[in-house]
Each structure stands twice: as structure tokens, then as C-alpha cells.
Amino acid sequence: MGEAGGDALNRALDVAGASLGLALASPLLAAAAAAIRLEDGGPILFRQRRVGCHGEEFELLKLRTMTVGAEREGAGYAVDAGDPRITRTGRVLRRLSLDELPQLWNVLRGDMSLIGPRPTLAYQVERYTPRQRRRLEIKPGLTGWAQIHGRAALPWEERIELDVWYVEHRSPWVDLQILLRTPLALFTGTYKGATGGWKQT
């Protein structure tokens, strides 16, 4: 299958997978939305500009897990598990990675794919070496090669190298490994969805 045919197939799988995911996740999304709104009355979604394929920016969607305006307070974009800006509801959503579910809509819109490097922030892209910029050759994903290899515990350079390895070796077999191993990474607490540890919403 040629590159164009492969891209068309990947897109069809993304649309089918994201549509099914949103349908199955709708009760969880509704419950999470109600909990977020009841806790502090703030917005349910957090929107943030991220860098996608070929360096094009897009609006990433997440469930809000931190206080409104948190990125302008405290440590800014840096955040750890004990950050006081994280709400009670947010702690639960983060632990289960439910805050990432709205990104299924990003997949439907074509900003992201189900599998690929996690979307990153512009200031992080500015630090990339020419080799690390290969990470931007494909669409960012909900989960990826770095996520199933203990991303939260890995140094920045090693995480990026894992993503570059995926770009260079992506195949249906590698994608299947990622899909099968992502649930284990979620339940063992090694999965972190947002680049650089920033999981505000």
C-alpha cells in the first residue's frame, strides 16, 4: 500500500476509533463534567495551543483538573502530583487519565491521531535538535511509544528519542503493541498524557 493509501487507512481507523471511544466514554464525560462544574463553577474544558504535525498549532482539549487560571499562578506550566492548584475532582481525573478523553474530539477533527507522539508546547519545540524535530513528521496521538515505556519516569531526551524511534519504525505491529500495552500503563500509573508533566485543564 502506498503512502497515500496508508494515510487514508490510518485516518479511517482514527475516525472509527474516536467515534466509538466517544460513544463509550459519554457517560464518564457527563459525570466528570458535572463534578467539575459542581466543585467550583468554572469551565469544564481547558483549551491550550499545542504543536502538531509539521509544526502546525492546534487547540488541544482536556477536562479541567486545576483551578481556573492556574497557568498564571504558582509554578506556571510546571506541575507535580502534589500541586495545590489541582482540584479534588482533578486528582481523580488525572489518576485515571480521564482528563484526556476530550482529545478524542481532536482526533475526529484531524488534529491528532489515536497513536503518535504526545502533542507538545511551542516553547518545548524551540528546544528541539534537528533530529528531535522528526517527532513532528506525523500527527500527535492520544497514546504512543513513549507512554508505554514509562514516560513519567524518563528523562526528557529519552522520551523524545522514543518518539523519534516510533516515527522511524511505525507499523501496524508497533501500533498494535501500543494499543495493547496502554491500558497496563494507565493502571500501573506510568502513563502521563501531557508533554512536560503539564496536565492542566
* pLDDT tens per residue, range 120-137: 999 999 999 999 999 999
Please, are residues 59 and 140 in contact by the beta-carbon 8 Å criterion?
no
pLDDT of residue 63: 97
CA atoms of 33 and 128, how far apart (whole Å): 36
- H helices present in the chain, as ranges: 3-40, 88-95, 103-109, 122-125, 156-169, 172-187
Burial of 90 (0-12, 13-18, 19+ CB in 10 A): buried
Poorest-pLDDT segment among 119-123, 184-188, 194-198? 194-198
pLDDT of residue 132: 96
Q: How confident is the model at residue 164 (pLDDT cuts 50, 70, 90)?
A: very high
Burial of 132 (0-12, 13-18, 19+ CB in 10 A): middle
* pLDDT tens per residue, range 72-101: 776 566 666 678 899 999 999 988 889 999
Residue 26 has pLDDT above 50, yes or no: yes
Amino acid at 130: P
